[in-house]
Amino acid sequence: MSSAVLRQAAIAARSASRKCAFSTSAVARKDLIQELYIKELKGYKAPPPPKDAHVGVVKNYSLPPAPQAPALPADLAGELSAWDAAEPTFAAASAKPAEGESTGPTGAEQFLAFLEADEPKHDEAHH
C-alpha cells in the first residue's frame, strides 16, 4: 500500500511542477533589480550647486590692448635708394668646398646615379 501512495504522490508532484514551471503571467516576469534601479533614479534629487561654484573656473574678460599703427621711417627715399644700390649676396656663391671633399655630384644627382647603376652580378647559383 505504501508504494501506491508513493506513486500517487510522485504523480501529483510531477503534475504540480509542470504547471508551475511555465508561468505566463506578467507579474512573474518583472525584473526586481530593474524596478529598484528605476525607483531610485526617479527619487534622486541632485544637490543644488553652491552660489560661488564658478569662482576660480571662470576668468574675468579684459579687452586686448589696441594695436599700434606702423610708423614709416623719416627718410624713406634715402633708404630705398640705399637698398637699390646694394649688391645682392648669394650664400651658394660664397660656399667653397673644403679640402678633401670631392666636387662631384652630390645630393639628388648622386642618388639618381645610384638608382640608375646596374646591380652587381653574383656568380653563386641559388637553389
Q: For 29-39, b where at least 16 C-beta lie within 10 A, e where not — what string?
A: eeeeeeeeeee
Which pLDDT belongs to residue 22? 55
Which pLDDT belongs to residue 42? 95
Which pLDDT belongs to residue 34? 93
pLDDT mean for each 10 residues of the chain (127 residues):
77 68 60 93 91 82 92 86 86 58 71 84 67
Which pLDDT belongs to residue 72? 81
Which pLDDT belongs to residue 94? 56
Q: Which of 34, 50, 51, 31 is nearest to 42 (CA)?
A: 34
Which pLDDT belongs to residue 36? 94
Grid cell at residue 70? 606702423
Which pLDDT belongs to residue 73? 81
